[in-house]
Amino acid sequence: MTEPMVPRQVEIDDFSLRRARRRSLVEVGVLYGACVVAALTLAAMLVAVSGGSWVEVLGALIDGSVRKPGRIGATVGTTVPILVVALGAIVSAKAGLVNIGQEGQLLVGAALCTYVALRTPGPGVLVLVVALVAGGVGGALWAGIAAMLRYRRGVPEVLTTLLLVTVAVQLVGYGLKHESLLLAPSGERAARNQVSAQLEADTRLPRVAWFGNEWPSSALIAVVAAVAVAFVFARTLPGMRVRMLGRNPKVAQRVGVDAARYGTAAMLVSGGFAGFAGALMLVGGDFGNYQLVPGFAVDIGWTGLLVALVARERALVAIPMAFVFGALRTGSGFVAATGVERRVTDVVQALLVLALLLPPAILYVRERRRAAAAIAVRV
């Protein structure tokens, strides 16, 4: 009679477990804090080297983003498209795809939205809804090119999504030169301006005046979308399949998740969000004057992508992150008054992202090292 093999239990008393947990919490906090402080210090040094005062710059940033009257509403208006783009980037990242062409997808979405909004007859609300959907479709189509090339022809989507950004810019530029496409009729614009006609007043998203701020109603849509994305990935079967595809394609294949089908779907949704963000920018009124202009995307696509990276694929975390990046953006308008080039905020953004990338990576390595040490002790 042999005893069945029982794995040896490692005894951990309650006290040491709690201590270990507290230590790891402290470790995480200290790491994140140190990295963010390092990033901000670097940015402050850059400002100091160029002869500015970082205290003034910081003051201007806060003034421009929240403190001055009416600025919170402006910041929320900027946050909305950033958040929506970020949600799209999260969807593709969950599927293990690297979609980094949101800037182009957003532009195509905005262009299609403009086209549809200006040509569809009917009651304003209906036109508005159709135009918003058209924006999403435009972005999805543009991302779909990259998805098709990836799954039909084996071209890495990293490159195609990037290269398609430039193509999108030229495509929309072409559209803005021809009256049959996007260009406003010659009576409605200055002679050489390449802009589209303005949207009709009843096809714009309403803005709510409240507490001295103008709040864009698109904010509600964006938050609902964030919750929906979080729900789909946490609680539904398709969401889990997409996650599986991203985390371990081999397992996904064994279980019967079709990589091409779910990957393409994730890519389409991702581009759709970017295009929808473009449409929201157009009908929301925070960007430009309810009309399409050259360079309409103004880096919102890139910023949204950065937000998704910082949020590390969590849709709800993206909401505050998008607000921070939106605030940096609206604040940057006030920085010029301090005599410092406003592009310093671009540097701050990128440094912040790099800083927030570091802690999880460091923690992962330390965790592995600890686990390896524990195994070595037991053997």
Partner 1 sequence: MVDFLNACVDVLTDEAAIGAAARFAAVLAFVATGEWVAERAGTLNISVEGMMLAGAFAAAVGLDASGSMWMALGCGVAAGVAVAVPQAEMSHRLPADQFVVGLTLNILVLGVAGFLDAELDLVTHRAGSVEVPLLVDLPWVGPALFGQPWPFYLLYPLVLSAWWAMYRSRWGLEVRSVGEDPQAADVSGVDVNRRRRQAVCVAGATSGLGGAYLLVGQVGRFSDGMVGGRGFIAIAAVIFGGWTLRGAIGGCVLFGAVLSFRLTLPQLGYDAVNTEILQAAPYLVTIVVMAVSARRVRPPAALAQPFLRGLK
Question: Binding mask 158-197 vs partner 1 (x if CB under 8 A, - otherwise)?
Answer: xxx-xxx-xx--xx-xx--x--------------------
Binders of partner 1 among residues 89 to 148 (CB under 8 A) are 98, 100
Binders of partner 1 among residues 220 to 279 (CB under 8 A) are none
Tokens representing residue 345 in the block: 């905020």
- Using CA atoms, how far apart are residues 81 and 205, in angstroms rounded to an integer? 14
Contact 296, 107 (CB under 8 A): yes
- Using CA atoms, how far apart are residues 69 and 148, in angstroms rounded to an integer? 48
Q: Is 66 in the site for partner 1 (CB under 8 A)?
A: no
Between 149 and 259, name the residue whose CB sits nearer to partner 1. 149
Q: Is 362 in the site for partner 1 (CB under 8 A)?
A: yes
Minimum Å gap between C-beta 275 and partner 1 is 19
Cα-Cα-Cα-Cα dihedral of 172, 177, 179, 180, to 10°?
-50
Residues sharing a CB contact under 8 Å with residue 31, sequence separation 6 or more, in sequence order: 358, 359, 362, 363
- When binding is defined by CB under 8 A, the residue of 50, 186, 236, 248 that contacts partner 1 is 50
Contact 173, 294 (CB under 8 A): yes
- When binding is defined by CB under 8 A, the residue of 156, 212, 238, 320 that contacts partner 1 is 156
Between 46 and 240, name the residue whose CB sits nearer to partner 1. 46
Per-residue burial over 101-115, b = 16 or more CB atoms within 10 Å of its CB, e = otherwise: bbbbbbbbbbbbbbb
Between 39 and 222, name the residue whose CB sits nearer to partner 1. 39
Minimum Å gap between C-beta 144 and partner 1 is 14
- Using CA atoms, how far apart are residues 318 and 119, in angstroms rounded to an integer? 35
Residue 212, φ and ψ in degrees, nearest 5:
70, 10
Kindly state the number of chain residues that form the binding site for partner 1, as judged by CB under 8 A.
45
User: Is residue 33 packed enough to be buried (19+ CB in 10 Å), middle (13-18) or exposed (0-12)?
Assistant: exposed
Between 40 and 358, name the residue whose CB sits nearer to partner 1. 358
Positions in the binding site for partner 1 (CB under 8 A) = 46, 50-51, 98, 100, 149, 153-156, 158-160, 162-164, 166-167, 170-171, 173-174, 177, 302, 305-306, 309, 341, 343-344, 346-347, 349-351, 353-354, 357-358, 360-362, 364-365, 368
